[in-house]
Structures are given as structure tokens and as C-alpha cells.
Structure 1
């Protein structure tokens, strides 16, 4: 039996929550950006056709935007719009899967540390402090090449090429620390509530209490911080790909920026080559940040009065 109070009607609570969320302009921008880029990522072939290669390219060298190539072409004549739309699938897939890993690890560490306390909490939080102090990008930059060599290049792992799988794994395993700290602080408060005492009285075990009683009450914090983790994951993925750790056969936005830099797009005045993927990274990251802030405002009773 769960003593968590969800109110008289979950449907009504959801409508109230959605209404409060949509009162914030940041939520509108974040949801619109998310919906737009998810559409691009879901059906790039329907929007711009198959991914162009050196064989299928029909443009000139770094040709500026025109009616045939809205975002211009790259150094081998490929349509930049085609590359950017296909890159959205890679970038968003990596960011979303890495975020899921980060939330799972951070939630597990935070709820365990907050619930058990004592030596378990001390050990888990010292480990969290290490990942919190060391910048995730620096840590990812150090361990990513090691993982690539261990797993091998060009292999398929769980549907990802090995280089992309390593990027997902590295981002997920280096970006969970602040989630763990937030979940721990919330768990420390929740475990003193009456419904947790009642659960103990009726004989619920520790795992049952954490999963069925504490975890549902932590969902708002997980959701709000999840949007911020996605933005951070996009930044790290873009940085790693820009430094050459991406897969040129499956170009993400960061890979396109790297290819543009190597082709001398900046010195050649080909602003469209760097501007298009750069703008996508900026808009998506900003959208997720604004959505995360809006979710935090909505879930936080002290901030609900702020429109």
C-alpha cells in the first residue's frame, strides 16, 4: 500500500499543472523548440531526403545559400540543410539517452544516500563530490578515447556505432552528480514524513519504500533537472564531436562544426556552414534550459506566484 497523496484526481492535477506551466513564456519557447527539433529528428528522410554523401552531392564548393540550397553547401558540395536535419537525430538521440543514464545513476545514488545515511551516505557523497568538482567535459575528454580503444572502432553496440555509444556512455556517467545532490536533499526531507513512518509500520522493506513511496514524490525534481541535464549533454556532445570524437559517417551538429572548421569555413567567409549547426545547438540548449526553469517554477510552491 502506498500512502503518497496524489490528490482527488490525477487528471485534474495534470490539467492544473499544465495550466501553471503554460503561464510561463519560457515553457512555450522550450516546448516549441523541443517539438520542432524532435520532428526533424523523427523523420529527416521525409523532410530533406536521405543523408547526402560525396557521391550524391550536387552542389559547388562552399556555395552560399540560394533557392536550391537554403543553408548553402559544404566543402564537397553537400547541402548543409540536409546535414543539419540529419544531424539533429544524432545529437538529440545522444543527448536524450545520455540524460536517461545520468538521471538513473543520479537518482539511485541520491535516494540511497539520503535514505540510508551513515557510512553509505558518506561514501556515496564523496564519490558524488569528485564528479561534481571535476568538470564533466574534462572528465569525458579524458576517458572517451580510452573507451573507444577498449570497445574498438566501427563496431555496433546496442544499435550505436562504437564511437557514438562511447559518447553516450561517457556523457551519462559524468553528468549525474548535481542530480544526485538534489535528490539526496529531497530524500532527507521526505523520509521524515508521516507516510514513510506508516510504510515502515506495515512492514515495507527499504527497497519498497524507496521505489513505491519516495520515488513518486521525487518525480518533479527529476523532471525539472532532467531538462537541464539534456542541455548540458548537448553541450558536451557538441564539444566532444568538435574535437574529433564523433562519427563522421553519422554527423551530429558538433561533427558538422568540426568539419566546417577543418574546411576553413570561417576564413573563407562560409558563415552558413558553421552558423546553421551552431544556431541549432544554441536554440535547443536554450529551449531545454527555459523548459527546465519553467518546470522548477511550476513544481516549487514558493515560486508559483511568479508568471
Structure 2
């Protein structure tokens, strides 16, 4: 007798995934957030196709702090570069730093959280005391102290994946200083999951601790990690922007924070060059709100206590 395909684990997972996507896309915040993120990701993926290479940003006429017009939709900066070109290319730098730093933060936080919750005892105590240190001190303060020291040791030379090495120093600093919140969330979920029957069965059949954490606990934690990851990205963007604004970015590959720093130094606020400050500032705000909206929608969808009847 042939097996009913609708009873297979793969089919059940596919049905659960479809139901989850339908519920997520039914959330107005998710729709708006995903639309905003899609626009920014397209801009970051193909900046040259949209506005040309970064080198073409310099105007031939030398119009400095020119307000928006037909030839320069977002005006020019203090040395005559096209602000639209700079902002579009800045999207790639800012989003690359934020996404890589978030990925590193989630890996570190999830690893420490799972180990702490699964082993308990002295391991839990020591790992949580370590997370308390990073949790109490704001990530930006730690990043502000550590980044110039690391940059001095490593230097700005060399390229990694087409980006200067100094940008990846910022990625490492942000990622390694912002994992504590994720570790706390993952630990609390792991404390509940480790008492479930499927974990006890895995122990009975001789599955190693590493196998239980990777193959049994982690898949059940992915939704919570993803929901919190969307919120971590927003924090990473703000941290990168603040660091670049304070001069710790790379002026040769300007991010939105670097553009805000250059605008401030050029006196854009006092001279009325609102487009120079406004364009990168609005981008930082818009992409951060998009990630927060998606993160809140994921949390509402995954957490029945937060679901709102619509």
C-alpha cells in the first residue's frame, strides 16, 4: 500500500511554511517593512546600474552645495559630487556592514545561548556573567572604544570581497559587542526545549551533546533567532552610522554615516544644505524602521500572546 504523500514530514513542513508566510504577509507591518527592504536591497545590489560608478559622482562644472535640480536630483556636496550617487553607493556599504555584523552577532549569541541553556550549572553561570558585561555596557560605547584601537593595529590597507579591510574591522567590532541580547533570548528558549521529550529520546539513543544542540535544539530556535535578528540589524545600522559620523568609517567607500559626517563638517546645517544631511539621514531612518517592522511582525506571528486579532 502506497504511503499517503500528505502525511510525509516534508509535505507537512511545506504546509506549515505556507501557513506561516500567509500569516506573516497578512501583517501590515511585514508588508511595509519587506517592501522597504526590497527597495534598499535592490539599490545596494546594483548601484552602478542605477547611478553609474562612484567615480562619476564628481561634477564637471564644480557646482558646490548645489540644491536639487534636474541634473542633480539630490544636489551636490561641498566638493561638487552628486549626492544621489553617493547615497546610492552608501547603501551598499551601510547594508553590507550591518548584515555581516548582525550575522556574526547572531552566531555568537545563539552559540552562547544554546550552550548556556543546555548545559546549565557552572557553564550557564559563567556564560551569563560574560553576557551581563556586554548587556550592561551599550554596544556603541564598547565599539567606540575598541574600533580605533583595532584600526590602529590592523590598519586600513588591503581588500576583502571588494571592500577595504577597515570596514570589516567595524563589522567585527559591532558583531562582537551586540550579541548579549540574542544570547539571553536563546538561553530562555533552550531552558524550555531541553526538557522536551524529543531531547530525552535523543539522549537515550546516544546522540552527542553537539548533535542535540545542532540537530534538535537549533531548528526549533531559528524562528526566534530570525525575529530578533531583524531587530539587531536596526541597531547595527545605527551603530555603524554613529561610528562613521565620528570619523571611524572609510572615506574612500562612504557609508551613510560617513556622508552625514562630511555634511556636518561642511556646515550643511548652517548653510541650509538640507539635501546633504537629509538624504542619508532619511535612508538610515527608513531602512531601520523597515527592519524593526519586519522583526515586530515576525514576533507577532511566532508569539501567540502578541498576536492582534484583525
Shorter-chain TM-score range: over 0.9
* Structure 1 residue 161 displacement after superposition: 1.4
* Structure 1 residue 106 displacement after superposition: 0.1
Deviations along 1:51-100, one digit per CA (max 9) or x if unpaired, are: 03676554511000011111110011111000000000000000000000
User: Please, which of 80, 91, 97 is the counterpart of residue 94 of structure 2?
Assistant: 91
Listed as ranges, the gaps of 5+ residues in structure 2 are 1-7
Moved more, 225-234 or 45-54: 45-54
Cα distance in 1, alignment partners of residues 36 and 57 from structure 2: 31
CA contact (8 A) 1:59 1:73 kept: no
Cα distance in 2, alignment partners of residues 291 and 225 from structure 1: 10
Q: Name the TM-score, length of structure 1 as normaliser.
A: 0.95
Q: Which has the higher contact order (CA 8 A, sep 6+)?
A: 1
Q: Secondary structure at the match of 1:75?
A: coil
User: Please, which of 97, 107, 110 is the counterpart of residue 107 of structure 1?
Assistant: 110
Q: Secondary structure at the match of 1:61?
A: coil
Q: Name the TM-score, length of structure 2 as normaliser.
A: 0.94
Match of 1:270 in 2: 273
Listed as ranges, the gaps of 5+ residues in structure 1 are none
Match of 2:254 in 1: 251
Match of 1:125 in 2: 128
Match of 1:64 in 2: 67
Q: Secondary structure at the match of 2:54?
A: coil
More helix by share: 2
The size of the alignment, in residue pairs, is 303
User: Please, which of 188, 191, 196 is the counterpart of residue 194 of structure 2?
Assistant: 191
Aligned pairs for 1:115-194 (under 5 A) are 115-157=118-160, 159-194=162-197
Cα distance in 2, alignment partners of residues 157 and 83 from structure 1: 21
Over 3 Å counting, the alpha-carbon distance change for 1:270 and 1:9 in structure 2 is same
Moved more, 289-298 or 22-31: 22-31
Over 3 Å counting, the alpha-carbon distance change for 1:271 and 1:56 in structure 2 is closer
* Structure 1 residue 46 displacement after superposition: 0.2
User: Please, which of 83, 88, 96 is the counterpart of residue 80 of structure 1?
Assistant: 83
CA contact (8 A) 1:98 1:169 kept: yes
User: Please, which of 206, 210, 224 is the counterpart of residue 207 of structure 1?
Assistant: 210
Moved more, 202-211 or 49-58: 49-58
Cα distance in 1, alignment partners of residues 56 and 246 from structure 2: 22
Over 3 Å counting, the alpha-carbon distance change for 1:41 and 1:199 in structure 2 is same
CA contact (8 A) 2:105 2:175 kept: yes
Match of 1:34 in 2: 37
- CA-atom RMSD in angstroms: 1.6
